[in-house]
Amino acid sequence: MRAFVVEKYAQPLVQQEVPEPEVGEGDVLVRVEAAGLNQLDEKIRLGEFAQILPYRLPLVLGNDVAGTVIRVGRLVQRFRPGDRVFARPDAARIGTFAERIAVAESDLAIVPERISMVEAGSLPLVALTTWQALVERGNVQPGHRVLIHAGAGGVGAIAIQLARHLGATVATTASAANSDFVRELGADIVIDYRSEDFAAVLSGYDLVLDSLGGENLKKSLRVLRPGGKAIGISGPPDPAFARRQGMNPVLRLAIAALSRRIRAQANKLGVTYEFLFMRADGEQLAEVAALVDAGIIRPVVAKTYPFDRLPDALADLAGGGHRGKLVVTLDD
Ligand SMILES: NC(=O)c1ccc[n+]([C@@H]2O[C@H](COP(=O)([O-])OP(=O)(O)OC[C@H]3O[C@@H](n4cnc5c(N)ncnc54)[C@H](OP(=O)(O)O)[C@@H]3O)[C@@H](O)[C@H]2O)c1
């Protein structure tokens, strides 16, 4: 089958024929119809995740899939051939930039009826990130004040909608041209990050979802109320993450050092900092799907590309300037 492969880190993606996926007893073989692009794909291609996710090369890239079930393993109970499904496969088993992929049943969910396959392919990674940040870690409740950075981006566009649904007052940062767009998604307060300093405008927030890191994260700590929480998805990683990943003691120490300063700053302000690295979860994806079916969350697709143009799509993603997600599509 055709697939886009990382042969060597920091080299262009290569389209080539690769072996068919092996379908285990608990796996579902999916014909890929749409695959969303994520900044993570580009970071993996560049080798930036080689320590955290030690893939063996060549690697079929791609973290999001929507498609149709071809066949299922012997132990699979919830899916049948012909089902429309979507997933962010487990980090150890990515490879959605291909004609077919085998996905563990536990990572899959049924595509919401009211959306297209392209829209479904745009959702899993960003929707799960958002769910894990706002529901699982953030425990957002009605009346909470939540700051979502980069509200016009792939993660931000879904996070605004979910935070709003959970009953929060939502502030977001976006460029002026995206102000109306993020308001339509549900943002109450929009800060133009190019001309305004969000830390000078906002205070008393319960939660910040930071997707930028660096100075942005540092400033984000100052808008929190005492006891508030900043969740960073662009790093730096923290010791709890290193533990969960099962890293060796040396790597754990190195990871702890990366976030020592920001954790100390948070401590001083009486707030907390946590790093989130999203994980595959079909049950959570089904919860998101129910919100999509109820009209509460809508996917935001900026542009689609035919499969052959995947390298261009990845370059466009890195270049920015899009609202929501970029998706590649595959024909039958
Ligand atoms: N740890 C995890 O599990 C995880 C999961 C998902 C994503 N991530 C990471 O999170 C980051 C964002 O991902 P994404 O998919 O949302 O990326 P994306 O779709 O490329 O989003 C880019 C957005 O960032 C906005 N932006 C750029 N500079 C900004 C600034 N200084 N302040 C506010 N907004 C700014 C842009 O807004 P304008 O167009 O308005 O300028 C653009 O809409 C990436 O680094 C990604 O790797 C991590």
For the structural domain made of 2-124+280-329, what CATH number should be given? 3.90.180.10
Q: Calculate mean pLDDT across residues 294-320.
A: 97
Average pLDDT score over residue span 143-167: 98
Closest Cα to atom 10, ligand 1: which residue?
A: 211
CATH classification for the domain delimited by 138-275, as one of 1.10.540.10, 3.40.50.170, 3.40.190.10, 3.40.50.720: 3.40.50.720
pTM (two decimals): 0.98
Tell me: pLDDT of 64 over 90: yes
Asked if residue 175 has pLDDT above 80, the reply is yes
- Give the binding-site residues of ligand 1, using a 6 Å CB cut-off: 38-40, 125-126, 129, 149-150, 152-156, 173-175, 178, 193, 211-212, 216, 233-234, 276-278, 320
Question: 235: pLDDT confidence band, cut at 50, 70 and 90?
Answer: confident
- What is the predicted pLDDT for the residue at 231? 98
CATH 3.40.50.720 residue spans of the chain: 138-275
Q: What is the reported pLDDT for 306?
A: 98
Q: How far is the CA of 217 from the centre of ligand 1 (A)?
A: 13
The yes-or-no verdict on residue 7 having pLDDT over 80 is: yes
Peptide bond into 311 cis (omega under 30): no
Ligand 1 centre from 235 Cα, in Å? 12
pLDDT digits (tens, 9 = 90+) for 67-115: 999 999 999 999 999 999 999 999 999 999 999 999 999 999 999 999 9
Whether residue 236 is preceded by a cis peptide bond, meaning omega within 30 degrees of 0, is yes
Q: Which of 90, 162, 175 to mutate to test the pocket of ligand 1 (most atoms within 8 A of CB)?
A: 175
Above pLDDT 90, what percent of the chain? Answer: 96
**Which atom of ligand 1 approaches the CA of 157 most closely?**
16
pLDDT at residue 332 above 70? no
What is the percent of the chain with per-residue pLDDT over 70, rounded to a whole number?
100
Which residues of the chain form CATH 3.90.180.10? Answer: 2-124+280-329
Q: pLDDT averaged over the chain?
A: 97
